[in-house]
């Protein structure tokens, strides 16, 4: 091609005069025009001013990218990291259930492992609540449980009634029920006692508080990823936790598995 000598290919970008084309997974981003488009519509979106300069090099761009992807042998994309983190904590619950039956008679059972998962889940709740507050209000400065409660209950007033089920063990929980009374959740207070006063409050790291903490995280992650949750795009599904009928809206088959359409 006549323009090949003018093209510098490096780091998934093409430099052509004063214009740079960045490529990432089927998307072209043009600088300084700040235009982003799928390659199928590349020419139509750019318009005649820019299009004429790229017609002769378009095939070269595609060839370069395809060759590089073959060499790399791997593609990556955006992941719902907090969903994945929640699922790992759920896996910890499943493993724990092999040794401690999830039954009311064992709710006061406490151990190092229960405390470890409780603190991990509660710390993640803190992170997710902060992000959810930012999503609900970009100017939010909420950074602790009481400001989270004030903002989230204002925007999602029925969250205190959100019921999480563990059908395998016949358990139903309302992890945010205390917010209906404008109180801090019991399991949140228990986590702080275990975290800061473990030498005196170790028994607070019990099964009841753990189940509520992981369920509370489940609820918050659903609202953080509300759009994906409603479309059934949060996959894989949880293996243990389920929402109640009021928040279930069927399933959607995605790729090779079904995702739950949550009603939020």
Q: Residues 207-246, buried b or exposed e (16+ Cβ, 10 A)? A: bbbbbbbbbbbbbbbbbbbeebbbebbbbeebebbbbeee
pLDDT at 143 over 80: yes
Between 19 and 142, where is the model more confident? 142
What residues have CB less than 8 Å from 50, skipping those under 6 apart?
19, 30, 33
> Residue 93 — very low, low, confident or very high, per pLDDT cuts 50/70/90?
very high
Enter the pTM of the model: 0.74
pLDDT attached to residue 74: 64
Contact (CB, 8 A) for 239 and 248 = no
Helices 81-96 and 207-224: angle between axes, nearest 10 degrees: 160
Residue 219 vs residues 5, 101, 111, 115, 131: alpha-carbon distances, Å: 56, 23, 25, 21, 14
CA nearest to 178, candidates 160, 191, 164, 156: 160
Per-residue model confidence as pLDDT tens digits over 35-79: 444 444 444 444 444 445 454 445 555 555 555 555 556 667 788
Per-residue model confidence as pLDDT tens digits over 153-172: 999 999 999 999 999 999 99
> Residue 256 — very low, low, confident or very high, per pLDDT cuts 50/70/90?
confident
pLDDT attached to residue 7: 38
* Whole-number Å distance between alpha carbons of 136 and 117: 28
């Amino acid at each position: 091609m006549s323009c090949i000598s003018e093209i510098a290919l490096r780091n998934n970008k093409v430099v052509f005069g004063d214009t740079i084309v960045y490529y990432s997974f089927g998307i072209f981003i043009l600088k300084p025009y700040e235009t982003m488009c799928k390659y199928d519509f590349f020419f139509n979106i750019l318009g005649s001013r820019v299009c004429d300069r790229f017609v002769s090099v378009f095939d070269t761009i595609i060839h370069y990218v395809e060759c590089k992807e073959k060499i790399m042998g791997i593609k990556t994309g955006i992941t719902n990291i907090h969903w994945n983190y929640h699922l790992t904590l759920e896996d910890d619950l499943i493993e724990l259930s092999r040794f401690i039956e999830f039954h009311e008679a064992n709710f006061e059972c406490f151990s190092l492992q229960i405390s470890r998962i409780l603190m991990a889940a509660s710390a993640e709740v803190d992170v997710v609540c902060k992000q959810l507050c930012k999503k609900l209000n970009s100017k939010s400065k909420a950074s602790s449980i009481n400001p989270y409660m004030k903002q989230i209950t204002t925007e999602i007033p029925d969250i205190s009634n959100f019921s999480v089920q563990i059908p395998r063990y016949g358990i139903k929980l309302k992890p945010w029920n205390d917010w209906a009374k404008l109180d801090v959740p019991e399991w949140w207070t228990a986590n702080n006692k275990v975290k800061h006063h473990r030498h005196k409050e170790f028994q607070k790291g019990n099964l009841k508080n753990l189940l509520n903490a992981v369920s509370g995280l489940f609820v918050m992650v659903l609202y953080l990823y509300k759009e994906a949750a409603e479309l059934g795009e949060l996959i894989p599904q949880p293996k243990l936790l389920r929402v109640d009928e009021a928040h279930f809206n069927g399933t959607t088959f995605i790729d090779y598995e079904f995702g739950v359409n949550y009603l939020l």
